[in-house]
Structure 1
Amino acid sequence: MKQLLFPNNPQFWYETLRSMSHIAYGGADFGEVVATGERIVEGDYESWYAEWTATADRVADEAQKALEAGHEVSARDGFLRASNYYRSAEFFLHGHPCDPRHDHAYDRSVACFRAAAALFTPRIEPVSIPYEGTTLPGYLYRADTGGTPRPTLIMQAGFDGTAEELHFSGAMAAVERGYTVLTFDGPGQPGPRHHQGLVFRPDWENVIRPVIDFAETLPEVDNSRIALLGSSMGGILAPRAAAFEHRLAALIAVDGVYDLGQISVRNIPGDRADAERLLRADSAPELDAALERIMITDATARWAINHGMYVMGVDTPRAFNASYLDYSLADGIAERIQCPTLVCDAAEDEFFKGQPEQLYEHLTCPRTLMVFTAEEGAGAHCHPGAMRLALARIYDWLDDTLANTPASLGA
């Protein structure tokens, strides 16, 4: 898709398109996004933060006034948009060290979302999921107030998405189709990273297991028809979990990822083994210098490395790249997935090109590869700009898959 704003900075444009995609489920208005983007100095993180915060503050203030005047629908809609705009505001603040303003913007995003959640019918309920002596934050969506067990979708984001953002990128679409939905942030993701210091871990089955345990205690959940959807980096985390956690009735990777280590080693001379040794070495000054140069010249790499150090809990660009080596479905892991699996693929994916096909090829379970194209407006990573189209196809697949799975007794 042509870059309508920020012609020389693909990362700024992608994040703008990402906000535009949330229009479909109430997370933005086109004019607000464009007006904000036009005020931002291209490539300037300070300008990005200031302008998105200004828009978020204005929209949140208007929503609060609507609430105080008794206009609950207007308040709900405004709080939703403000939540998304605050999320966007803090997007480029992460790194090592992390900009202290990111906590303010993140907390405002969560507060606005929870204000909106309380105004839905049924109410979207914030939940705390027990996890290794602490809890993971999330939200429970009910299709109605009857308490009937329903097919259930557990949703998670990936490298940088939030549980709140999942509202716009699939949770409400699933509720419209009659699903119970449980969204959450795992370690390394925004809630646990901001407030508990939890960083990513590759053995994601140990994250999903307690989430499923929690889901199975809820009366609205049909325990025999629980599906898991992972977005972006969740496209490798969710499959990793499904390889070892076999209570899942279906798996969706939006989009599929097979091996993050391929990202780390692709610009390092030599074979994979040599590159891995260099990344994990005690000292590699030439590689360190090369990574610093890449961050100067490549806007996407600059953001990814800064954010990656934050979410992986490491201090250097090389240590971040080394951490990616641990995230792989090779060596027979993908082959252990048993449930029907949908692998989504964006034809013009700027982050993980070719990896959905690799994941699909290694699956031995019932499998489907679903390709989204630029001609459909859906060719970018995770299909921003074509959210209704993408979710219709994804959830039609899920409807058909779970229709062939027997419901729990009493469901």
Structure 2
Amino acid sequence: MKQLLFPDDTQFWYETLRSMSHIAYGGADFGEVVSTASRITEGDYAGWYTEWSATADRVASQAQKALAAGHRTSARDAFLRASNYYRSAEFFLHGKDCDPRHDHAYDRSVECFRAAAALYTTPRVTPVEIPYEDTTLPGYLYRPDDSGTPRPTVVMHNGFDGTAEEMHFFSALAAVERGYNVLTFDGPGMPGPRHHQGLVFRPDWENVITPVIDFAETIPEVDETRIALLGLSMGGILAPRAAAFEHRIAALIAVDGLYDLGQTSVRNIPGSREEAERLLRADSAPELDAALEQIMAKDPIARWALNHGMYVMGVDTPRAFNASYLDYTLTGGIAEKIQCPTLVCDAEEDEFFKGQPEQLYAHLTCPKTLMLFTTEEGGGAHCHTGATRHANARIYDWLDETLKNTHP
């Protein structure tokens, strides 16, 4: 897709498109996004935070004034947009040593979202705490109405850099519109548990999903025989990993499908895969360390990914982050263990994981569908950013047919 803003900064353009994408379900207004972006200079990370924070503060203030005046719908809508703008403001602040402003912006994003959730009547959006090991995971339960009728339910989570709150705009409301309950949550490594509990990502995601499914089964409105799992972005490898071992999942959706994150770690290291892995895991590899530092100096996307990766994996060096990715794989027969019907989504111009959806699809032995989203139809970017309603229509039509869901 042509970069309409930030023509020489792919990173800033994609994150701007991401906010534009959330317009479809109330997470932004076009004029607010364009006005904010127009005040930011390409490559100016300080300016990115400053301008998105200023927009978020202004919209949050509007929400408070509307609420005080009794205008609940206007307040809810503004709180939703402010939540998303605070999320965007915080996006580039992570690293081994995080910018201290990141906690404030993240907490404001959650506060605004919860204020909006409290103003919903249909659907009901309720914050939940899901028991997990010796702590809890934050999330939200969506119910289409108060009838108490058991319904098919979609458990969903984000990926490398997104929040449970953002899933509201990506996919949660789309599911509720079609009569599904929805349970969104942040797992270890995702923003809530990382910010407040210090929990980092883990590759054995079944040990995250199993307690989430346990929790879902305690909810009277959940039809235990029709629980689907949807993973977004890096969730496209986490959710399939969980489904390989947690067989209560009735349907799996990977947006987009991933097979082996280690491929991204080794692709710029000369020599065989085995040699690259040895260097990444070695106690000392000064030449590789220096090469990674050079890549970070030259490539802003790599610099962000490696800094954020150190933060969410809880490691101290770019090489250690790349080494951690080696453990996130469905090789060795793991993909073949998935039993439920599986939808693997693919984006024509995915700039991060090109070709991996096809790899996952090829290794599945369960009932399976590969769904391509093209640039011509506006869905060719990673996770179909910019084509939210189109993508959700195709995805949920598949799920309706798979789970025999009927809705008005």
TM-score by length of 2: 0.98
1:21 is aligned to 2:21: yes
Determine the C-alpha separation between the residues in 1 that align with 2:321 and 2:40.
29
1:378 is aligned to 2:379: yes
Alignment coverage as a number of residue pairs: 405
| Residue 37 of structure 1: aligned partner | 37
CA RMSD of aligned residues (A): 0.9
- Checking the alignment, whether the CA contact within 8 Å between 1:22 and 1:169 is kept in structure 2 is yes
| Residue 87 of structure 2: aligned partner | 87
Which residue type is aligned with residue 102 of structure 2? H
| Residue 67 of structure 2: aligned partner | 67
Q: CA deviation at 1:353?
A: 0.3
Counterparts of 1:236-251 in structure 2 under 5 Å? 236-251=237-252
1:97 is aligned to 2:94: no
Counterparts of 1:245-264 in structure 2 under 5 Å? 245-264=246-265
| Residue 193 of structure 1: aligned partner | 194
Q: CA deviation at 1:106?
A: 0.2
| Residue 327 of structure 2: aligned partner | 326
| Residue 337 of structure 2: aligned partner | 336
| Residue 408 of structure 1: aligned partner | none
Determine the C-alpha separation between the residues in 2 that align with 1:297 and 1:4.
24
Determine the C-alpha separation between the residues in 2 that align with 1:311 and 1:404.
36
Q: CA deviation at 1:265?
A: 0.0
Which residue type is aligned with residue 336 of structure 1? K
Which residue type is aligned with residue 255 of structure 1? D
Determine the C-alpha separation between the residues in 2 that align with 1:55 and 1:95.
24
Unaligned 5+ runs, structure 1: 406-411
| Residue 234 of structure 1: aligned partner | 235
| Residue 171 of structure 1: aligned partner | 172
Q: CA deviation at 1:312?
A: 0.1
Determine the C-alpha separation between the residues in 1 that align with 2:293 and 2:17.
27
- Checking the alignment, whether the CA contact within 8 Å between 1:186 and 1:207 is kept in structure 2 is yes
Determine the C-alpha separation between the residues in 2 that align with 1:271 and 1:184.
38
- Checking the alignment, whether the CA contact within 8 Å between 1:339 and 1:365 is kept in structure 2 is yes
Q: Secondary structure at the match of 2:304?
A: helix
After superposition, the C-alpha distances for 1:320-371 in whole angstroms (9 at most, x for unaligned) are: 0000000000000000000000000000000000000000000000000000
- Checking the alignment, whether the CA contact within 8 Å between 2:344 and 2:369 is kept in structure 1 is yes
Determine the C-alpha separation between the residues in 2 that align with 1:113 and 1:224.
31
Q: CA deviation at 1:4?
A: 1.1
Determine the C-alpha separation between the residues in 1 that align with 2:314 and 2:45.
21
| Residue 312 of structure 1: aligned partner | 313
Which residue type is aligned with residue 402 of structure 1? L
Counterparts of 1:81-230 in structure 2 under 5 Å? 81-122=81-122, 123-230=124-231
After superposition, the C-alpha distances for 1:109-140 in whole angstroms (9 at most, x for unaligned) are: 00000000011114310000000010000000
Unaligned 5+ runs, structure 2: none
After superposition, the C-alpha distances for 1:10-54 in whole angstroms (9 at most, x for unaligned) are: 111100000000000000001100111111121111111000000
Determine the C-alpha separation between the residues in 1 that align with 2:4 and 2:300.
17
- Checking the alignment, whether the CA contact within 8 Å between 1:87 and 1:105 is kept in structure 2 is yes
Q: Secondary structure at the match of 1:377?
A: coil
Which residue type is aligned with residue 257 of structure 2? G
- Checking the alignment, whether the CA contact within 8 Å between 2:152 and 2:405 is kept in structure 1 is no
Which residue type is aligned with residue 394 of structure 1? I
- Checking the alignment, whether the CA contact within 8 Å between 1:10 and 1:299 is kept in structure 2 is no
Determine the C-alpha separation between the residues in 2 that align with 1:49 and 1:291.
26
Determine the C-alpha separation between the residues in 2 that align with 1:366 and 1:255.
17
After superposition, the C-alpha distances for 1:47-74 in whole angstroms (9 at most, x for unaligned) are: 1100000000000000100000000000
Q: Secondary structure at the match of 1:375?
A: coil
Q: CA deviation at 1:8?
A: 1.6
Which residue type is aligned with residue 200 of structure 1? F
Determine the C-alpha separation between the residues in 2 that align with 1:313 and 1:8.
32
Q: Secondary structure at the match of 2:170?
A: coil
Q: CA deviation at 1:291?
A: 0.6
- Checking the alignment, whether the CA contact within 8 Å between 1:259 and 1:330 is kept in structure 2 is yes
1:270 is aligned to 2:271: yes
Determine the C-alpha separation between the residues in 2 that align with 1:71 and 1:296.
49
Determine the C-alpha separation between the residues in 2 that align with 1:404 and 1:111.
34
Which residue type is aligned with residue 66 of structure 1? A
Compared CA separation, residues 249 and 16, structure 1 to 2 (3 A)? same
- Checking the alignment, whether the CA contact within 8 Å between 2:80 and 2:113 is kept in structure 1 is yes
Q: Secondary structure at the match of 1:124?
A: strand
Q: Secondary structure at the match of 2:343?
A: strand
- Checking the alignment, whether the CA contact within 8 Å between 2:83 and 2:108 is kept in structure 1 is yes
Q: CA deviation at 1:404?
A: 8.2
Q: CA deviation at 1:237?
A: 0.0
Q: Secondary structure at the match of 2:212?
A: helix
Which residue type is aligned with residue 47 of structure 1? G
| Residue 393 of structure 2: aligned partner | 392
Which residue type is aligned with residue 393 of structure 1? R
Percent pairwise identity: 82
Which residue type is aligned with residue 294 of structure 2? R
Determine the C-alpha separation between the residues in 1 that align with 2:9 and 2:245.
40
Determine the C-alpha separation between the residues in 1 that align with 2:404 and 2:335.
24
Q: Secondary structure at the match of 2:103?
A: helix
Q: CA deviation at 1:6?
A: 1.3
TM-score by length of 1: 0.98
Moved over 6 A (4+): none
- Checking the alignment, whether the CA contact within 8 Å between 1:346 and 1:380 is kept in structure 2 is yes
| Residue 296 of structure 1: aligned partner | 297
Compared CA separation, residues 404 and 37, structure 1 to 2 (3 A)? closer
Which residue type is aligned with residue 300 of structure 1? I
